Amino acid sequence: MRKQASAEAPANLAFVKYWGKKNSGLRLPANNSISVNLSQAKTSTTIIFDSDFEQDRVILADTQTPAKAEFTLRVSEHLDRLRKLAGAGGVKALVQTQNSFPSGVGIASSASGFAALTTAASAALGLPLDPVVLSSLARLGSGSACRSIPDGFCEWLAGNDDNSSYAVQVAPPDHWDLRILTVVVSEKTKKLSSTDGHALAAASPFFEARLADLPDRLNKVRAAIVARDFKTFGQETEKEAVSFHTIAMTSPIQTADGWFSGAYYWLPESLEIMLAVQNWRAEGLPVYFTLDAGPTVHLICLEQDVETLKRQVKMLENARPGRNWTFLTNAPAIGARVLA
Ligand code: DP6
């Protein structure tokens, strides 16, 4: 048997974050989350199942080098779930995958990666390509991947079991001409993975307070997207980013390297940009920030302001020698697709 398919999926940026799980095996989140798919951050994946292969292999297509053993294992475990559903138990696969952006720096590469992998593998194995089914399956690979399946602005419904936890569309990509200027200030991989961070979240003394705030915040963010109310949307999104990082910074960690009072994903440059955003806003430029689990800062503005914003960020970059930031200008994008 030999079966092959390719798929492409976007990374997504959460405005209301997924942080903490109520079931880590099933990747059931502690709360609903809301995101948008990013047009300039994609993973393309081709998968070949062949009964002559002796093991699963994952190749990073741009360099033609094998992926790290830990990642290959996570892919292989995910493929086991799909093979079981398709009755293709023992058939091993070759996965060729490529990101259009740097990984491990606060752009959700596991989201685009597992959304593309789930879509390509399901297509190759002849599994149903229903978006709800694909979204729950992608979730089992990486939680945030479930939000990269539908198009545009999405909400992940936390659910109570495997079948009730998946993402649905809140609005299509062309609903709102929002721009996300993603500023990658460092390409060094973060020390604490998101998966490890989730497990620590409940140890923060502020976690319960955050969960209590979230139903109201989810309602405000969802309604602001639908109404294209940029001010409410931006304010809630920025408060949410700080709430999520407060949890990360107050969840103590014991690792082989020692004890840490919490995970600090920001770098000095991240904070410099965050402070600048507050000044630019005071000077009349409507812009808000959010950050995921990494130093990358995502600046949210309307299409009409993106060039002005870029000039401001460039000036900040050039204010100190030796800086070399990477910029991605994202628009709301479609979700995962099987490629011809
Ligand atoms: C901070 O989806 O990477 O980006 O389910 O363990 O793979 P796993 O976690 P992951 O967590 C993403 C965390 C976040 C917030 C978000 O995207 O909602």
What's the pLDDT tens digit per position in 41-99? 999 999 999 999 999 999 998 889 999 999 999 999 999 999 999 999 889 999 999 99
pTM of the model as a whole: 0.96
Tokens representing 258 are 């020692």
CA dihedral over 92, 94, 100, 104, signed as positive or negative = positive
Q: Are 155 and 168 in contact (CB under 8 A)?
A: yes
Q: Give the E-state strand segments of 17-115 in sequence order.
A: 21-23, 28-29, 33-50, 57-60, 65-66, 92-99
**What's the chain's average pLDDT?**
95
- Nearest atom in ligand 1 to 16's CA: 18
User: Cα(145) to centroid of ligand 1, in Å?
Assistant: 8
Tokens read off for 40: 């300039």
Kindly indicate the confidence band of residue 189, based on its pLDDT and cuts at 50, 70 and 90: confident
User: Closest by alpha carbon to 230, among 273, 162, 281?
Assistant: 281
Residue with tokens 């190749």: 59
Of all protein residues, the one whose alpha carbon is nearest to atom 14 of ligand 1 is 292
Positive/negative CA dihedral, 156, 161, 162, 164: negative
**The pLDDT of residue 150:** 98
Residues with CB under 6 A from ligand 1: 14, 17-19, 27, 33, 108, 110-111, 142-144, 194-195, 198, 292-293
pLDDT tens-digit profile of 109-139?
899 999 999 999 999 999 999 999 999 999 9
- Tokens encoding 194: 């998101």
pLDDT digits (tens, 9 = 90+) for 204-245: 999 999 999 999 999 999 999 999 999 999 999 999 999 999
Q: Which two tokens stand for residue 307?
A: 């060039």
Rounded CA gap, 147 and 224, in Å?
A: 19
Q: Which atom of ligand 1 is nearest to the CA of 142?
A: 7
The pairing of strands 92-99 and 57-60 is: parallel
Ligand 1 centroid–CA 257 distance in Å is: 24
Categorize the per-residue pLDDT at 148 as very low, low, confident or very high, splitting at 50, 70 and 90. Answer: very high
**63 Cβ neighbours under 8 A, 6+ residues apart:** none
- Map 276-306 to HEC letters: HHHHHHHCCCCCEEECCCCCCEEEEEEHHHH
Ligand 1 atom at minimal distance to the Cα of residue 195 = 6
Q: How far is the CA of 319 from the centre of ligand 1 (A)?
A: 33
Please report, in angstroms and rounded to a whole number, the separation of the first and last CA atoms in the chain.
Answer: 20
Q: Which long-range contacts (CB under 8 A, 24 or more apart) does 53-58 make?
A: 53/91, 53/92, 53/93, 53/94, 54/92, 55/92, 56/92, 56/93, 56/94, 56/95, 57/92, 57/93, 57/94, 57/95, 58/95, 58/97
pLDDT above 70 (res 106): no
Spacing, Cα 255 to ligand 1 middle (Å): 20
Residue 63 is predicted with a pLDDT of: 87
Report the 10 Å Cβ neighbour count for 24.
12
Diameter of the chain measured on Cα atoms: 64
Considering just the CA atoms, what is the radius of gyration of the chain in Å? 20
Would you say residue 283 has pLDDT above 90? yes
Q: Which atom of ligand 1 is nearest to the CA of 244?
A: 1
Residue 104 has pLDDT above 70, yes or no: no
pLDDT of residue 200: 95
